[in-house]
Structure 1
Amino acid sequence: MRPNKAVVAWLSLCLVLSGWLAIACAAMASDSRDRDIAQFYHTAWTVREGAPGQVTALAQTADGYLWLGTQTGLYRFDGVRFERYRPREGGDFPASSVASLYAPFSGGLWVGFRYGVASFVDGGRATHYSAASGLPSGTMYAIGGTADGRIWGATFNGLVRFDKGHWYPVQKAMGLPGKRARNLTVDREGRLWVATEDALAWLPPGGKRFEVATRAVGRVNRIAEAPDGSIWVAEADGGVRPAWTGKGDPEAAGPVLRLSSAGLLFDRDGALWMPTLGDGIRRVARVGDLAGMAIGAEGKYAQRFVERDGLSSDYASAVIQDREGNIWVGGSRGLDRFRVSRLLPALMSPGATDFAMVAAPGHGVWVGTKNRPLSRVEVTGVTPSALVQPITAVSRDAEGIWLGGPDGIWRLRDGRPEPYTALPYPDYSGVQAVTGDGKGGAWVSINRPGIFHFTEGGWEHDPLPAFPNDPSPLVLLNDRHGWLWMGFARNTILLRKGYGEDDVRFGAAEGLAVGNVTALLENGETMWVGGELGIAAVAEGRVHPIATVGEPLRGVSGLVRDHRGDFWANAAQGVARIRGMDMIRALADPSYAAPVVLFDSLDGLPGTPAQFRPLPTAVVADDGRLWFATTSGIVSIDPADVPRNRLAPPVAIRTISTDAGTWPAGASVNLPAGTERLRIAFTATSLTMPERVRFRYRMEGLDTRWRDAGGDREAVYTDPPPGHYVFRVTATNEDGVENERGASIDVTVARAFYQMPWFFLLCIVLVALLIWIAFLIRLRRIAFQLRARLQERHAERERIARELHDTLLQSTQGLTMRFQAIANRVPPGEPLRVAMESALDRADQALVEARDRVRDLRTHAGESARLDVALRALAEACAAEHTVPVRVTVQAELRDLDALVRDELFRIAREAVHNAIAHAGASRIDVGVRLEGCALLLSVRDDGRGIDDAVLRDGRDGHWGLRGIRERAATVGGAATFTSPGGRGTEVTVHVPLERAFPARHTPFGRWWGRLRHGFRQR
């Protein structure tokens, strides 16, 4: 069941009211100047983390890189990785000991070295200047630029100016007193300040002569401009002091700070940072507080941070503030960063544990512990009270603040603790929870079964018999109706509305699934519940689980709502913020998961929240500030003024690597053929929280969508195909501000020879040739099989012929001879003998015909070399036996004629000639062979009686000559036609395709050989 519209409307009204309160409280937000230096989030990088030592200068270029000048060379830092810089063009640096750095707004970096050398770095190119360029031989102490584009250098031998690739001395020409320029800077109005051994002077914007500000200066190490426009100097022998104010005596701006400072920095908030040579870092939050202060009393205002506090080295020589507001300090052992964390740590005394918090009237919180006095904790400091007894539970109601501990219960009135009562069990060690009953009494939970109520001077104990395992409440809350809410272990809440009414229990059966109940928050008619397994809400007598995006919140031991209506939970993952509208939606819609913003150790959260006591671990102060207790300290945050990084992170592609080598990133890169593993390293110079920078990248031409790289700063591609690609990468900072443009680089992967188009064409040709060769081999094999079958056929014919000759013909011949002998016994002239001799003549004729057939079987065209020779032999035989002239005309080269075609054409010609002699009564027969179009043509023409059309079409019953001719023609892939115009003569024509008649000529090699042979013949 979902909450009804009345509950949602009530919560929405609360959101609106909270928003107005947030606007009112926003004006009370304090800036980072109110922080102590110990309240900044500090990170140190030493040689162990890859940082260089002996840092002498710091600068940040327009691309976001932090540059470190050291005694051993130049380095750059992207927030994650230190990289020694070596220019790709222009040659290596002529010196290694860096004395100064200057990053112009227009881009690039000026590097000043010791002993008269300077270089300008722009991308991968470095331009070097030395004595040949007019640069004096002394050390370049400082470099700066004015608004008119001029570059100035402070050297041991005086002030110099850079113009069109050359350095020019300007000391005397522009009226600057002294011979050495020890330092310089440019103020907000564009004035160039220069300190020499004689004076501190300044040059107006566009001016031609210096004006002396003061001659009372010593050896100046650094010059800095204060927020009020005054000029401060750090002197090697005199300390830090204001040297010029423009209004009168500079001593009125503050005393001399007796510090051996090697640098000065006024940050954006006006705080003064001073690295010292052996005494760590000093910070003055408000330099105005130094006015009128006695010399030597700076310790009251100058905060101190040294090596035992975590500083990489007490010897610090350089300090800058980057564009995101972080303070960077370079020293002898590494690099340090101070940044404003979102969660402000309280300045609790070391060793304090088990923090019991309650909102103090006005602002701040009261904090009780087991081993420190009860104290009022505020953003700027801690004020202890007179109560030194351990405190393990606190609460606040309309009557005041309740305190509970092993020694009893106290009331806090006007900041003074007053004893209220002793515990019912004096030997007990503490109180789990305490809350007022609204009638002057108190409800108390101790580690004994049940709940204890102190009223009218006595204790009442309710053992809560309905609960198994003798539990005691972990948290207590008396709501605005006077109802008592009790949270227990193992998914149990008990609501007691008053005497005479039954308690209402909410447990696992009612849908409560938060584990041990460790936080309760009243908001209108809804009770929000936090536990070890997440968050739930009780509205209209029902339990509603609250889902969140990502990993479920666990270990929620504190739950509060700020003045804007947003919810904050102190959970195991960190401090979680959930928008009020998202929580209301999640309450109304069980399928909705509310988005969560987490603040963890990177935001300044120490340790994890306590899970059992003291509870709760989250408190809203009267001024709207939120306070959270953990196992290692207390932090606070102003929800109306959460620091936010609004700068999009600059993105850069660092290197392109393959198994064959590494290439520096430029506009494009050409990779060799056969690249198996491509690695593209990139970075984003967001220096505040580089751990939370998130990347996404895409290789256009290869990737179809953007890839989420998370915090990884390298993209890997395996076996990229050859081609042209564009690699793009974007980055998002810790607050979700994205650099949508990002960085890109053209990547071209070369083709191997086997990936070239000509290679594919060659492969296609070779494959086609192989297929053709295989086809020819197959044809040759088929031809061989056909020849084998033909030989078998011929052998079978010869066998039949032998059988006919040796058996049937011999037997018939013997029978005829015997019958002749019988006939000879009959007298001549007898009719019987005449009949017998007639039968013998018939038998002789049959024998002749049988012998002809046997001869035909045994003799075939294969015995002749060519078809034309066989046809001429046939013509001669017919002319001799039958006196019928047969004329043979051959108009084709028949040397390569297929053997099977030759045999079949010969048999067709013989059959046609035989038919013309035996049946047509022809007196002339013409046999011709010629090429006609794409076919070999055989024709047999006679002048006999001809054949009827019906016989030509259907054949004659009992005769198979015409059908046999057609079948033989079809056997060799040809066709036979018969014509008998007007019944006079007959012409048999057979067409055989040239591919079938001359297969050797119709292969590529055969055609080439035929043309070659034909050419030789013509010659």
Structure 2
Amino acid sequence: MPSRRVTTVWAMVWLLAAGWLAFAHVARAMDGRDRNVAQFYHTAWTVREGAPGQVTALAQTSDGYLWLGTQTGLYRFDGVRFERYRPREGGDFPASSVASLYAPPSGGLWVGFRYGVASFIDGDRAMHYAAAAGLPPGTVYAIGGTPDGRIWGATFNGLVQFEHGSWRLVQQPMGLPGTRARNLSVDREGRLWVATEDALAWLPPQGKRFEVVTRSVGRVNRIAEAPDGSIWVAEADGGVRPAWTGKGDPGAAGPVLRLSSAGLLFDRDGALWMPTLGDGIRRVPRVDRFAGREIGAEGHEAERFLERDGLSSDYVSAVIQDREGNIWVGGSRGLDRFRVSRLLPALTLPGATDFAMVAARGHGVWVGTKNRPLTRLEATGETLASLRQPITAASRDGGGTWLGGPNGLWRLHDGVPEPFATLPYADYSGVQAVVGDGTGGVWVSINRPGLFHFTEGGWEHDPLPAFPNDPSPLVLARDRRGRLWMGFARNAILIRQGDVDTRLDAAQGLAVGNVTALLEDGERMWVGGELGLGVVKGARVQMIGTLGEPLRGVSGLVRDRRGDVWANAAQGIAHLRAKDVARALEDASYRPPVEWFDSLDGLPGTPAQFRPLPTAVLADDGRLWFATTSGIVSLDPADVPRNPLPPHVAIRTVSTDMGTWPAAPTMHLPAGTERLRIAFTSTSLTMPERVRFRYRMEGLDTRWRDAGEDREATYTDPPPGRYVFHVTATNEDGVANDVGASITVVVARAFYQMPWFFLVCLALVAVLIWVAFLLRLRRIALQMRARLQERHAERERIARELHDTLLQSIQGLSMRFQAIANKVPPGDPLRDAMERALDRADDALVEARDRVRDLRTHVGESARLDTALRALAAAFVAEHAVPVVVNVDIDVRDLDALVRDELFGIAREAVHNAMAHADATRIDIDLRMDRCELVLAVRDDGRGIDDASLRDGRDGHWGLRGMRERAAAMGGHVTIAARSAGGTEVMARLPVERAFPGRHTHIGRWWRRIVDAFRQR
């Protein structure tokens, strides 16, 4: 809610006013009183350009926006784009027809509507006040603020004051006559002026009672203060007049203008602007010149600018001056701007398109054309000469001012043209170059081959033998040494000194194309042409390249009193500063910057490229004059209007493919933003076309980006993160706002860009790797099982072959030998030998049968390993009477069958070795889990085993090697070592997942269940 303004706010007003005064001092040439209203640079925006119609009020807020109150709503304008304002907070406006606007210096905007509604706008928020807030019904004609912080409103039902969030009527309590307040205004002293239907009165600063000035007032539309402090009023019926001066008769302060004015404005220069309802905009440059007079509607004292002159509408109802000095006018069909251009257009030369210019004595220029009389132009007016002949060329030297045209040559004497000579050819259409020879004669170039010289003896023709193609010079110049310079088409210059001619062309460095401009500069000669700019130094030509766009079509060259070089070129008027020119002359590689003056500065058309030449002239008073095909303009190079105010920068909107949002300090954008567009603007209203921007996105850009005149930044696929977007601007005169504007942009992360998503992916990858590892283990286990099955099958085959062949054959042989032995008598030594041999054969057969039994014997499909081990122990105990103790600490019900057989084989071999070779008195068999391994240990207390047997085994015995091979076949290993307490320990270890497939982990069990489920299907 707007609060009571304090005195410090008005201090800002005086500072701003001081800035305006400084601006006016810096830009003295912008004193509009020296210009006719038609000489202002005028721009109109109509409905076709997006401007609203029916403009009723104008205001400029502290952020530089121009606000337009209309009968259909509120709009704001940044110099480029019109935008209908709708608040985002506080609700929409309760009314649409705007009657008044007031922009407090502290910021924000008051809007007065018809039918008793007022609103205060602060950024995107609006607060509305109507009858519930104490505001009386009826139109709010005006709103204003005084330095003491009070806000006042002039309404149909009286004067109101805003305080503590509500309005109250104060007209009668404060001694203000009447029942209505038609208008109000605050002067520079802080006095509040109010006009009612009965009186004009003022309230002193912090005062309690009004002082009545006069009761003889009509219906006052506007109150304004003149530069001298006088108070003027615009009356609906009585016109415009001074109403109070504070020191005498108001009539002495200015004229009474009998105009039906809808408004009133004194600009900074003191000129009076008056919008009218049907008669366009009226302007009085100097009201003090007409003090005490009465000026009617048709009087020429009040300049008129109408729809036929380019005004958007003759029905005009609002006028203000912005902080840069531009005049804005609002009417029924749009918006108009009047600004002081840098180039002052000539007052009047209607119908002329070709201008031959030459400097006049003292000040101004003489201008001749083909269809208009010879005219002397000055910055403040024009004077026609008596010469009515067409003029196509002009020059001035010590011998006077020379004029040439189709009908001859003239020389000015005290400003009066006098005939000098007729042309050598009567059928010629004009002169394209003329220059005096310094001895009373004149050199002339016409559209015929060669050069013509007029002396006392008449005309002499020089065919110029140095040019075999018979050209004629486009430009002529005579330097202080008396040399005649001739510029030709096709990149050639001829310098004549007496009887000696020197030619310059591409061989000497000349590269300007057609030579159309020559300018003497001390010992140098500047050359301009269709391709650029060069300088003749001695016998060489140095081309001057410029920064940025190269010069083209240079047809006029001048150097002002400060040493700056000005060129009238095809792109506009080019300005090269003296220090840059000096550096370019010393360093041929240096490219000086160029300041351009073009149509935005008031330049009409483009300069002529062939005739009349030159198109640029330096007047005696230092003013520069430039001619184009559409008119003549001038400027004072020492007093070029400048804009010292840095442009205000604002960020408007942020857009993505998903929508557009108004800019906020922090913008949160959705994940997956593919195209980010940030629109920004500047409220520099003088030349918004020349405001240049640069921007940078911290976190994305490593340097500033030059946007030029574009007002949007685009980023493609910005990654998630937090960024700060900065934008700065520079106005048309290079004054920068380096602070600019900034917002924070936060691009959200997609779910796949979240940290938890990466953790989930890592976990999933780990699970997949683990599953792959398990599958690999399962495959290895299956491969091992297959190898074990192949081994057992091979053992059974060998056992079967041994049984069916070798054992059967040996047994048959034994039986035959036994039959033979039986035929030998008992007691015979031969029979005894044969019996002994058969006994050994029986032993071998028993041993062979044991080996075949070992090959075919395994625990069996149904027997568990612990049961088999206990049975093995019982068998050995029964046969050898050595205790064998079995200790099994784990559940071996789902032990792999092949692993079971191999472990049983290892245990049997270890017990057999202990029984046969160690003389053990006790043997222990342990089966247990050790972390992730299944361990089978066989220990005895015998005499141990020597190192050689551990390393190489015993000759002819394969038990130790067999145990190791069995362990390796299971994916494990066997260690055989002597015990420190005596005896031997055989220990077999293998991974538990090999012994118990699918049981070693929870994942394995789940995986096995899944596999089993699929198998069942």
Asked if 1:665 corresponds to 2:643, the answer is no
Aligned equivalents of 1:315 and 1:288: distance in 2? 27
Aligned equivalents of 2:825 and 2:536: distance in 1? 149
Contact 2:393–2:433 at 8 Å: present in 1 too? yes
Q: Counterparts in 2 of 1:385-400, with a 5 A limit?
A: 385-400=385-400
- Residue 548 of structure 1 aligns to a residue in which SS? coil
Shift of the 153–924 alpha-carbon distance from structure 1 to 2, 3 Å rule, reads closer
Contact 1:26–1:640 at 8 Å: present in 2 too? no
Contact 2:799–2:856 at 8 Å: present in 1 too? yes
Letter in 1 for 2:948: A
Structure 2 unaligned residues grouped into runs of 5+: 1-24, 1009-1017
Shift of the 913–419 alpha-carbon distance from structure 1 to 2, 3 Å rule, reads same
Of 793, 796, 804, 2:794 maps to 796
Aligned equivalents of 1:26 and 1:943: distance in 2? 118
Aligned equivalents of 1:1000 and 1:29: distance in 2? 98
Letter in 2 for 1:74: L
- Residue 801 of structure 1 aligns to a residue in which SS? helix
- Residue 561 of structure 2 aligns to a residue in which SS? coil
Letter in 1 for 2:410: W
- Residue 696 of structure 2 aligns to a residue in which SS? strand
Contact 2:101–2:142 at 8 Å: present in 1 too? yes
- Residue 432 of structure 1 aligns to a residue in which SS? strand
Aligned equivalents of 2:756 and 2:412: distance in 1? 93
Residue aligning to 1:210: 210
Residue aligning to 2:14: none
Asked if 1:592 corresponds to 2:590, the answer is yes
Contact 2:199–2:214 at 8 Å: present in 1 too? yes
Residue aligning to 2:247: 247
Q: Counterparts in 2 of 1:687-836, with a 5 A limit?
A: 687-821=685-819, 831-836=829-834
Shift of the 693–271 alpha-carbon distance from structure 1 to 2, 3 Å rule, reads same
Distance apart, 1:268 and its partner CA: 0.4
Residue aligning to 2:621: 623
Distance apart, 1:806 and its partner CA: 3.0
Residue aligning to 2:637: 639
Distance apart, 1:375 and its partner CA: 1.0
Letter in 1 for 2:473: P
Aligned equivalents of 1:824 and 1:447: distance in 2? 160
Range with bigger deviation, 196-205 or 323-332: 196-205
Distance apart, 1:337 and its partner CA: 0.2
Aligned equivalents of 2:489 and 2:830: distance in 1? 143
Distance apart, 1:108 and its partner CA: 1.5
Aligned equivalents of 1:115 and 1:985: distance in 2? 119
Asked if 1:229 corresponds to 2:257, the answer is no
Shift of the 903–101 alpha-carbon distance from structure 1 to 2, 3 Å rule, reads same
Contact 1:610–1:617 at 8 Å: present in 2 too? yes
Distance apart, 1:971 and its partner CA: 4.7
Range with bigger deviation, 411-420 or 908-917: 908-917
Shift of the 816–508 alpha-carbon distance from structure 1 to 2, 3 Å rule, reads farther
Contact 1:896–1:1000 at 8 Å: present in 2 too? no
Distance apart, 1:79 and its partner CA: 0.9
Contact 2:258–2:297 at 8 Å: present in 1 too? no
Aligned equivalents of 2:196 and 2:982: distance in 1? 138
Asked if 1:290 corresponds to 2:282, the answer is no
Contact 2:32–2:271 at 8 Å: present in 1 too? no
Distance apart, 1:68 and its partner CA: 1.0
Distance apart, 1:81 and its partner CA: 1.2
Residue aligning to 1:46: 46
Residue aligning to 1:561: 559
Range with bigger deviation, 883-892 or 468-477: 883-892
Q: Counterparts in 2 of 1:854-873, with a 5 A limit?
A: 854-861=852-859, 863=861, 865-873=863-871
Range with bigger deviation, 647-656 or 280-289: 647-656
Residue aligning to 2:309: 309
Shift of the 361–778 alpha-carbon distance from structure 1 to 2, 3 Å rule, reads same
Letter in 2 for 1:556: V
Contact 2:265–2:320 at 8 Å: present in 1 too? yes
Aligned equivalents of 2:959 and 2:542: distance in 1? 105
Residue aligning to 1:98: 98
Aligned equivalents of 1:680 and 1:374: distance in 2? 56
Shift of the 429–851 alpha-carbon distance from structure 1 to 2, 3 Å rule, reads farther
Contact 1:947–1:983 at 8 Å: present in 2 too? no
Shift of the 288–596 alpha-carbon distance from structure 1 to 2, 3 Å rule, reads same
Q: Counterparts in 2 of 1:458-497, with a 5 A limit?
A: 458-497=458-497
Contact 2:27–2:639 at 8 Å: present in 1 too? no
Distance apart, 1:429 and its partner CA: 1.3
Range with bigger deviation, 985-994 or 205-214: 985-994
- Residue 729 of structure 1 aligns to a residue in which SS? strand
- Residue 629 of structure 1 aligns to a residue in which SS? strand
Residue aligning to 1:84: 84
Residue aligning to 1:528: 526
Range with bigger deviation, 251-260 or 668-677: 668-677
Distance apart, 1:920 and its partner CA: 4.2
Aligned equivalents of 1:643 and 1:492: distance in 2? 39
Distance apart, 1:318 and its partner CA: 0.8
Aligned equivalents of 1:30 and 1:96: distance in 2? 37
Contact 2:788–2:969 at 8 Å: present in 1 too? no
Structure 1 unaligned residues grouped into runs of 5+: 1-24, 1011-1019
Q: Counterparts in 2 of 1:494-573, with a 5 A limit?
A: 494-499=494-499, 501=500, 503-573=501-571
Identity of aligned residues (%): 80
Aligned equivalents of 2:651 and 2:259: distance in 1? 43
Aligned equivalents of 2:663 and 2:688: distance in 1? 21
Residue aligning to 2:335: 335
Shift of the 816–378 alpha-carbon distance from structure 1 to 2, 3 Å rule, reads farther
Return the structure number with greater relative CO, CA threshold 8 A, min gap 6: 1
Scaled by the length of structure 1, the TM-score of the pair is: 0.91
Q: CA RMSD in A?
A: 2.8
- Residue 952 of structure 1 aligns to a residue in which SS? helix
Aligned equivalents of 1:946 and 1:93: distance in 2? 109
Shift of the 935–115 alpha-carbon distance from structure 1 to 2, 3 Å rule, reads closer
Asked if 1:424 corresponds to 2:389, the answer is no
Range with bigger deviation, 266-275 or 84-93: 84-93
Can you list the C-alpha shifts for 1:791-823, whole angstroms capped at 9, x where unaligned?
A: 222222223333333334344444444555555
Residue aligning to 1:444: 444
Residue aligning to 1:173: 173
Range with bigger deviation, 353-362 or 39-48: 353-362
Aligned equivalents of 2:458 and 2:485: distance in 1? 22
Aligned equivalents of 2:38 and 2:863: distance in 1? 116
Asked if 1:990 corresponds to 2:988, the answer is yes
Range with bigger deviation, 75-84 or 27-36: 27-36
Aligned equivalents of 2:121 and 2:924: distance in 1? 104
Asked if 1:888 corresponds to 2:886, the answer is yes
Can you list the C-alpha shifts for 1:936-967, whole angstroms capped at 9, x where unaligned?
A: 43333345554333333443345443344344
Q: Counterparts in 2 of 1:674-685, with a 5 A limit?
A: 674-685=672-683
Q: Counterparts in 2 of 1:597-616, with a 5 A limit?
A: 597-616=595-614
Distance apart, 1:636 and its partner CA: 1.3
Residue aligning to 1:55: 55
Residue aligning to 2:153: 153
Aligned equivalents of 2:442 and 2:548: distance in 1? 40
Distance apart, 1:709 and its partner CA: 2.5
Aligned equivalents of 1:191 and 1:982: distance in 2? 118
Distance apart, 1:311 and its partner CA: 0.3
Contact 1:512–1:536 at 8 Å: present in 2 too? yes
Aligned equivalents of 1:308 and 1:724: distance in 2? 55
Range with bigger deviation, 854-863 or 191-200: 854-863
- Residue 83 of structure 2 aligns to a residue in which SS? strand
Contact 2:320–2:329 at 8 Å: present in 1 too? yes
Residue aligning to 1:257: 257
Contact 1:864–1:870 at 8 Å: present in 2 too? no
Distance apart, 1:749 and its partner CA: 3.7
Contact 1:348–1:633 at 8 Å: present in 2 too? no
Contact 2:28–2:641 at 8 Å: present in 1 too? no
- Residue 640 of structure 1 aligns to a residue in which SS? coil
